[in-house]
A = this chain, B = another copy of it.
Amino acid sequence: MKKFKNCMGAALLTLPMLFTSTVMAQELKKPTLEDLIPGGATYRYAENKWYQWYGDFAYLELGIDKVEGTWMNGKHFSVISLEEVNSLLGKEQLGKISSLYSAVFLNSFDEKAGKALSKAEYPTLMLVNTGKNRVLINWAKKSIIWKQERTKEAANEDWNSKSRNLAYTINNNLLVVTGDGITTQVTNEPEGIVCGQSVHRNEFGIQKGTFWSPDGNLLAFYRMDESMVAQYPLVDITARIGKVNNVRYPMAGMTSHKVTVGIYNPETKKTVFLQAGDPTDRYFTNISWAPDGKSLYLIELNRDQNHAKLCQYNAETGSQMRVLIEETHPKYVEPQHSIIFLPWDKSKFIYQSQWSGYNHLYLCDLAANTKEQLSPAGVEKLSPEGGKLTARVALKALTSGNWLVQNILGFNLSSREVIINSTEVTPLQSNIFGVDIKTGKRHLIGKRDATHTADLSGSGKYLIDRYSSPTIPRVISICDTKGEVKETTLLQAKDPYQGYVMPTFETGTIKAADGVTDLYYRITKPADFDPNKKYPVIVYVYGGPHAQVVTGGWQNGARGWDVYMANKGYIMFSLDNRGSENRGLSFENVTFRHLGIEEGKDQVKGIEFLKSLPYIDGNRIGVHGWSFGGHMTTALVLRYPEIFKVGVAGGPVIDWSYYEVMYGERYMDTPQSNPEGYKECNLKNLAGNLKGHLLIIHDDQDDTCVPQHTLSFMKACIDAHTYPDLFIYPTHKHNVAGKDRVHLHEKITRYFEDNL
């Protein structure tokens, strides 16, 4: 934490040099919303480039019309041109492509026996997609080596580079076409049963519905029976006569869908289903294959979400082989990471758990699991919060501490390290570390005072590192994952708003409402800030789990609209309250069974801090947020009407009983088991408190937070004789994307200008 503060302080000191002085500001132009908002006609992206690896030997830069390579010694070479690709495709009448950006160069960690491949062994293959065909090209030899016709209606395509089998869906069913071109309809289910697609509303880290075995010869897939789930009707007003789009939406406490996992064998054309018992009120998450493709691992969770089990199933028979790890917690367990086997030792895998209070890595050893061997400390292990971990496999903590592992990027095969993203440097950043599998010792990779994402090279020797910091919009560089921190810079993006008036960004910490916890804030001040003036403030808030709005990235995570409003003379403020991301389990789960209450108290601490500043006009405080932030905005305006004069809430949760089962019940339990919590957090019950100006915006196709939230709140306000404002964005889902996002922000801006 101390390090972070120093780092921020240094960054702030350098700001006056990077940003313009008051005098200069007059010569600069103010960016418009079209310049500042993604989707705007003149939106100013930070410069970017696209790279992929060719083993450890070279990195490839993908352009529209060519791909160029650079050997690790710095020498350049030509890979292939768009013209060459289209010429090859044209000869076989396979269609054409318009750009090389979307080409995929085959490159993976799954190297032979967990060891780096030699250049001679390494494939020189790229996959392109013409719309009509999927084509594998040997870019070194400039030849087509394989092709596969595509189906127009196909969605959720999942292609395996080894078997070249493709899984895809048409409507609610799953199909497979094998590498040699034989198509099979794997499922034939009626409407209401969905196969091969993501389930459980994308919670628990689930993003897809098909999982090829390592060799691509078996396909695990989700089957979700949601025929028993109530349908929420969204009306499409663009049809000649308005038409219903029904969404199967299980609301908290109501009947939910039933998920099972099948394994399809394209050779036998047979499917076995995992014998997991009655799927009612159970979640099947984090599917992964054993390296030998003979068994499947998944983490199963009960509906109450307080008991998770890592299970292994026989891929041939579907029978359960064993339960390796169990976790329980008095509040909730939230498995979000599949297990990952070590490439060089198929008897060991990495399991991730928040059990200690922070997400950390545990090395599990199947070979040491002779009987019911338990490690590191007996049958059960209790965390300070009462979380219980029961391991039936040898288990060793690889990382620990009051910071968390965010992500496993891969492995360095030669140094036998796992490469991770973590918050160890500061919770505002994601830094990359190499962790020695044997000793657990770790070392930083890349620049310390920046936040990183990365792509590892073939055997994990290098990475293409993308980072930003408060003053750096984007740098792309090559790093060696071992040894000293040194980098070869590929791109140093210019400030996209050079020549424009820009505000200043500052971050710091205040104490949460518990008096103990540090919370990070960001304050954005107009370029011509005058400490002797009084400024109105707008708080931008999210406040819910799985997100953070104050970061150590470019402009500290400030959004284009913060810039716009600061340029109009507002102080913009954001605070990541307890309940938000990257601060560990107890920081998050303090909100359990009463979402919005503690979060609001922390936001009020932010207001108290603001009011302590001499340049803040405490009578002109507004708040804006979307989704959970829409809930927060509405809740703050209603619970603290003496503080918040104006609010603009987008797609808000108003009543948690209208929210879906997976996310909602994790934090709120069910309306049946937590009636007081649901009542306390139901903003309809506070409708009579509305005093200031509150605009609620909802999308008419919002299938995440259905329009019923906002419309029922309108009714509650009408009943309570209060006067909110309303706007609806037709055809949009759970936010306003594309060009209309500029309209949205103009609408929001006008509301604050008219009322604050």
Contact = CB atoms under 8 A, between A and B. Distances in A.
Interface string A685-705: 000000000000000100000
Contacts of A743: 718, 721, 723
Given A721-B743, A740-B718, A233 B237 contact: no
A727 interface: yes
A747 to B, nearest CB: 6
A73 interface: no
A638 interface: no
Contacts of A700: 711
Given A242-B232, A718-B729, A723 B711 contact: no
B241 A230 contact: yes
A232 B236 CA distance: 10
Nearest to A754: B754
A750 B723 contact: yes
Nearest to A747: B723
Interface stretch (A125-133, A192-200, A202-210, A243-251): A243-251
B711 A237 contact: yes
- Give the oligomeric copy count: 2
A439 interface: no
Nearest to A743: B718
A729 B754 CA distance: 23
Given A721-B743, A725-B725, A708 B237 contact: yes
A706 B242 contact: yes
Contacts of A557: none
A167 interface: no
A230, A238, A249, A708 pick with most chain B CB within 10 angstroms:
A708
Nearest to A720: B743
Contact of A746 (B706, B723, B750): B723
Contacts of A730: 711-712, 714-715, 718
Nearest to A246: B244
Contact of A726 (B238, B249, B657, B728): B728
Contacts of A731: 715
A715 B736 CA distance: 12
A726 B723 contact: no
B723 A725 contact: no
A46 interface: no
Interface string A722-748: 010111111100000000100100110
Contacts of A727: 714, 725-726
Contacts of A754: 754
A730 B698 CA distance: 14
A254 interface: yes
Contacts of A75: none
A533 interface: no
A237 B754 CA distance: 30
Contacts of A718: 729-730, 740, 743
Which 3 pairs from chain A and chain B are nearest by CB? A715-B730, A233-B244, A237-B711
Given A233-B242, A241-B708, A726-B728, 17 more contacts: A232-B241, A233-B235, A233-B243, A235-B235, A237-B708, A237-B715, A238-B712, A240-B251, A241-B251, A241-B254, A711-B728, A715-B730, A721-B743, A721-B746, A723-B746, A725-B725, A726-B727
